């Protein structure tokens, strides 16, 4: 049976690619420590990956992929992970906040009307990710079943404009 997607698996690959030099995120103009990389992991899917970098590796990263529209507005699903040496320091929360603002700045000029939604689906057992989502997206998640795994999860949503 499938499980809820674990962004940490992608984070490990991201870290390795940084070390190997096969990817080179670019600095964001609005935040001195924030870097971004856009890629297309599969046809028709654009992915924006934001990270806080230090000495050639990532402290944490946040990955955004466009999801189904919500209330007529674009919606982006976010997943995030933090290097084990940087956990419990508020870095993931700071990263999600900063990257959400940067994402909105990046696409605001392309929107028909202001505003986007950011959502996170977090497993009920993932307390660390729940803290990040509560602090950066919404303090009141909706209990749901994850579409892919069927496992109980929490759906956090934030409107950004």
Q: How far apart are CA 115 and CA 125, in angstroms?
A: 31
Q: Residue 133 has what pLDDT?
A: 98
Q: Give domain status of residue 155, yes or no.
A: yes
Q: Give domain status of residue 39, yes or no.
A: yes
DSSP string for 8-71: HHHHHHHHHHHHHTS---EEETTEEEEEEEEEEEETTEEEEEEEEEETTEEEEEEEEEEEEEET
Tell me the pTM.
Answer: 0.94
Q: Give domain status of residue 84, yes or no.
A: yes
CATH number at residue 139: 3.40.630.30
Q: Give domain status of residue 32, yes or no.
A: yes
Strands 73-82 and 116-123, bridge-based pairing: parallel
Q: How far apart are CA 3 and CA 161, in angstroms?
A: 33
Give the model confidence (pLDDT) of 103-142 as tens digits: 999 999 999 999 999 999 999 999 999 999 999 999 999 9
CB 117 within 8 A of CB 71: yes
- The separation between CA 160 and the C-alpha centre of its own chain, rounded to angstroms, equals 14
Q: Give domain status of residue 95, yes or no.
A: yes
Total of domains in the chain: 1
Closest CA to 36 of 44, 18, 24, 54: 24
Give the model confidence (pLDDT) of 44-68 as tens digits: 899 999 999 988 899 999 999 999 9
Q: Give domain status of residue 25, yes or no.
A: yes
> Residue 91 is part of which domain span?
7-160
Q: Give domain status of residue 2, yes or no.
A: no
Q: Give domain status of residue 1, yes or no.
A: no
Interval 2-17 mean pLDDT: 90
Q: Residue 30 has what pLDDT?
A: 83
Q: How far apart are CA 148 and CA 132, in angstroms?
A: 22
Q: How far apart are CA 81 and CA 96, in angstroms?
A: 10
């Amino acid at each position: 049976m499938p499980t809820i997607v674990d962004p940490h698996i992608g984070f490990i690959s991201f870290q390795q690619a940084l070390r190997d030099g096969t990817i080179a995120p670019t600095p964001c103009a609005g935040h001195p420590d924030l870097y971004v990389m856009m890629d297309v992991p599969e046809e028709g899917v654009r992915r924006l990956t934001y990270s806080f970098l230090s000495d050639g590796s990532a402290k944490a990263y946040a990955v955004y992929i466009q999801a189904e529209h919500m209330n007529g507005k674009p919606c982006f699903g976010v997943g995030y992970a933090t290097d084990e040496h940087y956990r419990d320091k508020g870095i993931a929360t700071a990263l999600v906040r900063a990257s959400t603002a940067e994402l909105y700045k990046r696409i605001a000029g392309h929107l028909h009307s202001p505003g986007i939604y950011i959502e996170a689906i977090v497993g009920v057992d993932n307390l660390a990710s729940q803290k990040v989502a509560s602090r950066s997206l919404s303090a009141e998640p909706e209990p749901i079943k994850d579409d892919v795994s069927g496992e109980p999860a929490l759906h956090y949503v934030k409107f950004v404009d």
